[in-house]
Structures are given as C-alpha cells and as structure tokens.
Amino acid sequence: MTKIGFIGAGSMAEAMIAGLINGGVYKPNQVIVANRTNTTRLEELATKYDIITTHNKKKLVSEASIIVLAMKPKDVKSGIDGIQEFITNQLIVSVLAGISIQTITNILRKEASIIRAMPNTSATIAKSATAIAASEHVSMAQIKKCQSLFEAIGICKLVEEHQLDAVTGVSGSGPAYVYLLVEAMEKAAVEVGLDAHVARELIIQTLLGSAEMIESTKKLPSQLRKEVTSPNGTTEAGISILQEHGFEDAVIACIKRATERSIELKTMFSEVLSTTEN
C-alpha cells in the first residue's frame, strides 16, 4: 500500500491532506504526518482526519513513496537533515515558497527526484491552482504522478522553476487578495443598508458567477466588464471610483511585490544556508 508522507503539519499540509482524503486519492491510513515537536497539532490532525502521525522521521520516510516538504521555511535545514540519510528513491515534493530545488539538493547532499509545487489553500475544497517544476532527476512518470496528485485537488500546470516566483505572487497568494476584496465588499454592503448575511451570499454568488463567465464564455475579462458597464450607469460610477483610487495599478503592484518577495526569500535562504555550511 503506497503512502504519502508530510514533513510539517501547518495550514498548507492540512489543506492538501483534506483535499486528497476527501477526493478519495488516499485513504486516511495512507497518509502519514510528522512535525518537529508539536504533539498537540499532530493529535488534532489525527482526530480530524484519522491519519497516521509520528515524530519518527525514519518511519515516515521508509513507509512513504512521496515525501511532501511542508515545514516552515526556518525549519527547512533541520527538517531535511532529519530525513537525509533515509532518502533513497522517494519522490520529494516541496511546497515551500522561495526554496529552490538546488537549495534542497544542497541540504540533502545527494541527488534526488525533487519537484517544487506551489498550490494554494483552496486545496482543502479541491479547487487549488497549482504549478509544479521538476529537477532533472525526475522522470516523466513521476511528473505525471505529481500532476495527478495535484489535479485531484484542483488544476496543475507544469512550468519552469524560475516561473514559480510569479506563480507564488499570482495564485499562491491569490486567495488572500480575493478574501480582502470580499471583506471590503461586505463592509460596504452593510454601510449602504444590506443585512450582513444577505450581503455575503450575494457577494459569494457574484464571485462564483463572474469566474464561471470568464471560464465558460472564453471572453476577455475586459470585454465582459464592458458588457456590464452601461454609459453613465451605476457600474461605470463605481468603476470610476476604483480607477480614481488606482485599483488596477494597486493589484499589479501587489502581485509584483509578492513575486519579488518570493525571490528575496529564495536569495535570503540560500545565503543563510551558505553561511551555516561555512
């Protein structure tokens, strides 16, 4: 029986676990999770999903054919050091933002099949937008296996590793941008006289409908926007305020900054690792 092992038990690990189990990709007894010291968190996940949990990294690595690196960035070196001697032919999948394949290879001190993945927390409901990039030691069969893994919790696209910083800025962090938009819309709705519960339902359906329109009609978002915007109408009045406040520029700057931060984290971690090794 094949197993998937998670090193790290944070929100992204849980999102993936929930999506994989709820989607029937893995049974609970095929999922094993380890973290460094937080027994309470492991007990919480075991109770919630009926999965296997352990602090024994050797047990996890020896039993799992796929190892997902999902620890906090600051724990990457110690986390990988803890499994290094047990890695043989397992596929290593990293969901760590800003941590390069080369950095993981350097810590492992051996050649390994490594795939970097950038999912988002919508994996919980099988709606993640994920991109993956593979090292030269990854076989096409392993790439397809990884793609099927992430397609079970959303969509999955294969990209070059240098493009993952942009993916991080767009879809990795993207749900938070949408949630912030909804927060603002809910506040405004209440201020203009709507019941909060009614406002939320209307906003959610508006987002769902808009996304479906983009996907199903294949029209450009700019075209769909123009179709909604009548001259001198309410939509035009609202959009004019967004434009006055630099809405489009702010969104573009937001994504560019998140992308830059991913690059900064990658550089910073590489420098820290180099200093540690010296």
> Side-chain half-sphere of 122: how many Cα atoms within 13 Å?
17
Mean pLDDT, the chain, whole residue set:
91
3-state secondary structure (DSSP) of residue 149:
helix
Contact residues for 232 (Cβ-Cβ < 8 A; gap 6+): none
Q: Which of 84, 76, 17, 75 is nearest to 51 (CA)?
A: 17
- For residues 58 and 82, give the distance between their C-alpha atoms in angstroms, rounded to a whole number: 8
33: region left, alpha or beta (phi > 0 left; psi from -120 to 50 alpha): beta
Give residues with Cβ within 8 angstroms of 221, minimum separation 6: 214
- Assess contact for 112 and 80: CB atoms under 8 A: no
Q: How far apart are CA 278 and CA 273, in angstroms?
A: 9
DSSP 24-84: TSS-GGGEEEE-SS-HHHHHHHHHHH--EEES-HHHHHHH-SEEEE-S-GGGHHHHHHTTG
Q: What is the pLDDT of residue 121?
A: 86
Structural contact between residues 133 and 161, judged by C-beta atoms closer than 8 angstroms: yes
User: Which residue, chain included where needed, has tokens 């309410």?
Assistant: 234
CB-based contacts of 171: which residues, under 8 Å, 6+ apart? 118, 120, 129, 130, 131
CB 42 within 8 A of CB 53: yes
pLDDT at 199: 97
φ and ψ at 130, to 5 degrees?
Answer: -120, 140
pTM over 0.85: yes
- Residue 271's pLDDT is 67
Neighbour order of strands in the sheet with 66-69: 52-54, 31-34, 4-7, 66-69, 91-94, 113-118, 128-134, 154-158
Helix (H, G, I), strand (E, B) or coil at 268: helix
Q: 147 near 134, Cβ under 8 Å? A: no
Mean pLDDT by 10 residues, the chain (278 residues): 89 88 91 89 95 90 93 84 88 89 89 93 90 94 92 93 94 96 98 97 97 95 96 96 97 96 82 60
pLDDT at 82: 86
Structure tokens at 121: 């927390």
Radius of gyration of the chain (CA): 21
